[in-house]
Structure 1
Amino acid sequence: MRIPRFYQPEHFACGETVSLSDDVVQHVCRVLRMKSGELITLFDGQGNEHLCELVDVAKRSANVQVREVTQLSRSSALKVHIGQALSRGERMDYAVQKSTEMGMTSMTPLFTERSEVKLSAERQGKRIQHWQQVAISACEQSLRNEIPEIAAPCLLTDWVQQCDAELKLVLHHHTEQPLAALDAPQSVALLVGPEGGLTEAEVEQAIAAGFKPVAFGPRVMRTETAPVAAQAILQYMWGDLGHAG
């Protein structure tokens, strides 16, 4: 049985007794109903894993004793920064969750000409917090030890000018640019449009900012599918998929 993993953003020493955060207690005590003597793993988001034994388990609190500390990165050497057009509800959650599992480094939600989502300043803060938690949960499940950053939403026109990567790609199904013809980069910026696609003007803005238009096949993918499929290809070609061990 796999040892449950939880994110707690602190680094602990071997032998230290630690109080679990409220979020972790919720899962350990109320959802999983774990008992003293059982093992969990805590990771701090900076590459450190702590194998811990539960002690003093109660309904609303629990302590653990740290049995082993390991520094272990499961992040790809290929850094992928995604500019993801905002979409509604579960579609955006899916893009964040699966992109985290595929190894993204960061994601910036984008307002585009065809975006249907409008966010006030107050709602933006709540949505960023929500998406960051989606990413954390995906890290817990996928054994990632580093947490990808979900940045504040911004305009597509601003992001294409500000993002910094060795290779910049815009998904555009009208191109026949072969990905295999490009030199292997260490970092990629990936621009993904909304459900209705990017406008020609937006594509031209991206190209003017140094983005190369690429297609990952003959079919047009949904906005939440595109970053996942694209990353699978990028990580297979230049990252760590298919190269384990």
Structure 2
Amino acid sequence: MRRFFVENLRLKKDGSCVISGSEARHMTKVVRMRPGDRFELMGGEGERFLAVVRSIGPRQVLVDIERALVASAPSPVEITLCQAILRSDPMDYLIQKTSELGVDRIFPFFSMRTVAKIESEKFEKRVRHWQGVAVSAAKQCGRPLPARVSSPTSLPELLIGLSGEECLKVVLWEEEESMGLKGLLKESAKKERVIGMVGPEGGFSMEEIRMTRKEGFIPVSVGSRVLRAETAAMTLVALVQYEWGDLG
């Protein structure tokens, strides 16, 4: 069954709802929904409904809510991914796949070795694009809520913002030889929240690792292989979900 997402979902007293904007265009122009077609309607607060198309207008779709659907239970662990900004396609792929795996928040940041350049006046446009990728991933896999993507910042600013977070904090570092992420998760008391940090294509500098350590991040590896940044991020989220969350 097709799924559509409306951030600010407002139901009328008669149980109907008007869908407009990009989702209405997608319904009418891309998948060509017709009156009588049923679909799953998802809201920005985790709502899920079985809905049916009543009528289609030039810029909006009127639908009727048939019944509420039972939302799937959230993962027992909340995962935040701090990701050094990658080039366009790898970054989109990373957001898509980590969203499918259940990451809750994504904080993009610039590091010393970041290759991709985004002008500050284009931040808002890029975040809208990334958020759209996360929403599409949520619809594809049936997540009640998409991952939330924040505006890009610098690593020092990001660390200041995370300084009061009480949770397990890990930073993936290919030069770490004594501690692996899998072993750390098995040895540590289970936490409700995990913050994972992944570097850019060229990895973190030694100075950046020192900065993260000062803020409570534990450097870990994910094995003997040197992974692409997007693969490393997916591996981090998958391991946390497998050991402490709802994967497997």
Normalising by the smaller structure, the TM-score range is: over 0.9
1:82 & 1:34 partners in 2: Cα distance? 35
1:14 & 1:40 partners in 2: Cα distance? 20
Give the 3-state SS of the residue equivalent to 1:234 in structure 2. Answer: helix
Residues 1:139 and 2:138 aligned together: yes
Please report how far the alpha carbon of residue 193 of structure 1 lies from its aligned counterpart in structure 2 after TM superposition: 0.4
Cα distance change of structure 1 residues 114 and 188 upon mapping to structure 2, 3 Å threshold: same
Q: Which runs of 5+ in 2 are unaligned?
A: none
Asked if the contact 2:20/2:59 (under 8 Å) is kept, the reply is: no
Asked if the contact 1:74/1:143 (under 8 Å) is kept, the reply is: no
**1:105 — aligned with what?**
104
Please report how far the alpha carbon of residue 14 of structure 1 lies from its aligned counterpart in structure 2 after TM superposition: 8.3
**2:238 — aligned with what?**
232
Residues 1:48 and 2:47 aligned together: yes
Which residue identity is paired with 1:167?
L
Asked if the contact 1:53/1:66 (under 8 Å) is kept, the reply is: yes
2:222 & 2:13 partners in 1: Cα distance? 46
1:165 & 1:73 partners in 2: Cα distance? 26
Kindly, what percent of the aligned residue pairs are identical? 32
Aligned counterparts, 1:1-245, within 5 A: 3-9=1-7, 10-12=9-11, 15-58=14-57, 60-70=59-69, 72-163=71-162, 164-175=165-176, 176-177=178-179, 178-179=183-184, 180-242=186-248
Which residue identity is paired with 1:61?
Q
How many residues align structurally?
240
1:61 & 1:166 partners in 2: Cα distance? 43
Give the 3-state SS of the residue equivalent to 2:34 in structure 1. Answer: coil
| 1:75-106 Cα shifts (integer Å, max 9, x gaps) | 31211111100111111111111111111110
1:126 & 1:24 partners in 2: Cα distance? 18
Cα distance change of structure 1 residues 141 and 14 upon mapping to structure 2, 3 Å threshold: farther
1:158 & 1:61 partners in 2: Cα distance? 41
Give the 3-state SS of the residue equivalent to 2:24 in structure 1. Answer: helix
1:237 & 1:32 partners in 2: Cα distance? 38
Give the 3-state SS of the residue equivalent to 2:56 in structure 1. Answer: coil
Pairwise CA RMSD: 1.6
Asked if the contact 1:11/1:48 (under 8 Å) is kept, the reply is: no
1:88 & 1:28 partners in 2: Cα distance? 30
Which residue identity is paired with 1:230?
L
| 1:24-66 Cα shifts (integer Å, max 9, x gaps) | 2222211112211110111112111011111113564321111
1:14 & 1:43 partners in 2: Cα distance? 18
TM-score w.r.t. length of structure 1: 0.92
Which residue identity is paired with 1:115?
T
Asked if the contact 1:12/1:50 (under 8 Å) is kept, the reply is: no
Which residue identity is paired with 2:173?
H
